[in-house]
Amino acid sequence: MRELLRPARLAPGARVAVVAPSGPVPEERLQAGLDVLRGWDLDPVAAPHVQDRHGEFGYLAGTDADRAADLQSAWCDPGVDAVLCARGGYGAQRMIDLLDWEAMRAAGPKVFVGFSDITALHEAFATRLGLVTLHGPMAAGVDFVKNARAQEHLRATLFAPETVRTIASGGTALVPGRARGVTLGGCLCLLAAELGTPHARRSAGGGLLCLEDVGEETYRLDRYLTQLLRAGWLDGVSGVLLGSWENCASPAELRLLLADRLGALGVPVVEDFGFGHCAGASTIPFGVTAELDADAATLTLDEPALR
């Protein structure tokens, strides 16, 4: 697995576009998120269809074509320095293949932020554009709007990435040890759903795999992990970081499952790393070379996430 191209960090006055590739966005939270961004001395602009709702499927923020058009327009706008997703939910996979990836590649690198359903886009940006992306709080998310820790970690990553070269979690080692590799991952169910799709990553081999999910029964998490194992997608993975499992099973039940499915990989695994669907989530860059110390529960980047 190769390291990806790092976009430039943000500076005061940078223009950031907020898009909704997945679910519908509550207006009050969107406005609160835009206010936070303005407080960082950024110039945020909401894409035209951010507050749309699909006429037939209310879980989508507008039509697939409109959601794709918003993302592509923002990415290809030379005046936009970063694209932040407003929220997750569901829908990113429906619009990925409507994007003009050649045009987006020609537009050059810029910062991209999101998590949850946005996992599908993290994978696409890695395989189709070769870019580092940020798995972090979204502009209309509760964590972004209300949690100071989540805000500050994302802000430091965007403006002063050299200050967050080491991400400490307070987690614990499920399997002890150290490992090096290129970071990748996101929401477990989305990674399983990506298998077999056009331009999907063939393997997590050589990677430090970050996994988390929300609202899933234990047997479903078991099924996703088993699917990745059976497909050979986890062959050669260097290490695993486990984030939050909000509204899933008890920690004891999850620990048994994760040890059962991941322990046989023979690589370091750290749990409770504090990213994903949890309060105060850390921002994790994907596509950078790093070292995982499972015993110390730290991830140390070889270079800052952004240039």
- Catalytic residue positions, numbered: 116, 212, 277
DSSP conformation letters of 178-200: EEEEEEEEEEHHHHHHHTTSTT-
Distance spanning both ends of the chain, measured CA to CA: 20
Distances in whole angstroms, Cα of residue 137 to Cα of each of 30, 149, 193, 250: 13, 11, 22, 24
207-214/239-246 β-pairing: parallel
Place of tokens 């970690």: 153
Supply the DSSP symbol for 152. Answer: H
Q: Are 303 and 288 in contact (CB under 8 A)?
A: yes
Instruction: Extract the tokens encoding 60.
Output: 């989508």
- C-alpha–C-alpha distance, residues 303 and 220, integer Å: 36
Q: Residue 172 is inside which H or E element, if any?
A: strand 172-175
Instruction: Extract the tokens encoding 44.
Output: 């945020």
